[in-house]
Amino acid sequence: MLNDSHRLSLGTAALAGLYRPVSKTAVQEVLTTAWDSGIRYFDTAPHYGNGAAESLIGDFLRDRDGWILSTKVGRVLTPDPAPPAVVNGFHNGWPFRQAFDFTHDGIMRSVEDSFQRLGLNRIDILYVHDIGDPGAGTDTPDHRAQLLDSGVKALERLKADGMVKAIGLGVNTVEICQELVGQFDMDLILLAGRHTLLDQSARQSLFPQLEKHGVRLVIGGVFNSGILATGPVPGAHYNYAPASDEILNRVEKIQTICNRHDTPLPAAALQYPDQSPLVASTLIGTAKASSLKRNIAQFNDDLPPALWTDLRAAGIIGGGPA
């Protein structure tokens, strides 16, 4: 499904106006830049702008060939007669409200609705979105039961019928991956922020399980919501909150090692997940073409092997002393 040509991929949350409005011109510039730079794997979700992102990427891909597309299930959208101006942080959202539904019927409806919004005749990868997430309120026995008692049957049916080629999870926590890997035959996990220069939790506790069951990763959130892009500057964010002194000090240590090897910190952050054979793709997202060009260039930079050796020796990444 995903091969070496898909090592870098583009997410579409920012294109639906996450945190700030985005013009249609900016959306087209980002998507065109991605395509012209060779990116062929794109990820979206009903959550991103209540369907807006799916529509945008569908319009862009419709007359093109050779792409891979993933979207997600777990939320069902219904019309909202009085939608707020900003919905779940999205400024370009459509007038719908969301409800989590991991049941067989909820997943089937979600897929059908996604096909309509996309205007495409195929979805390659289908992720179960935000299951087991305390922040989203889905870390409950009821949500797990919905998925395992009937939702998995929908995923397996969709794959068996050829409606999708691969299935898996699209989540932010390692714990739910540990719980669900092996409970159904998943192919991929899109995991955000848990295999980075700052957060080694996936490598430490999940990788052996993935190897055993033949599941690969798509890694998002490589900058941990900002600090690995900005560096340890005042006001830097880590996991969507102001970074603590401990995190600032850790990033300063990483940056010192990067400086020793004339390597920009963001380049090391972008390339780190790709060091593992378990990682099929590194997912990035932005609403600015200039930022995307810079990220693509940094992902493709030749970094010195000694950089990774020193990061391991300092206990920053796996394989070295603590």
The CA-based angle 255-194-5, given to 5 degrees, is 85
Estimate the crossing angle of helix 52-61 against helix 24-36, to 10 degrees: 50
273: phi then psi, degrees, rounded to nearest 5 = -60, -35
The answer to whether 268 touches 282, Cβ cutoff 8 Å, is no
Task: Give the chain's radius of gyration (CA, Å).
Answer: 19
Q: Is-contact 108 154, C-beta < 8 A? A: yes
Active-site residue list: 43, 48, 72
DSSP codes joined into one string, 88-139: TTBTT--SEEEEE--SHHHHHHHHHHHHHHHT-S---EEEEESTT-GGGT--
**Token pair recorded at residue 242:** 């102001």
Q: Cα(first)–Cα(last) distance of the chain, in Å?
A: 36
- How deeply is 83 buried, as exposed, middle or buried, from its count of CB atoms within 10 A (0-12, 13-18, 19+)? middle
Report DSSP state, residue 274: G
Burial of 259 (0-12, 13-18, 19+ CB in 10 A): exposed
Question: Tokens representing 137?
Answer: 């309120």
> Strand, coil or helix: what is 280?
strand
Q: Are 88 and 98 in contact (CB under 8 A)?
A: yes
Q: Is residue 33 within 8 Å of residue 292, measured between CB atoms?
A: yes
Q: Give the separation between CA 16 and CA 174, rounded to whole angstroms.
A: 26
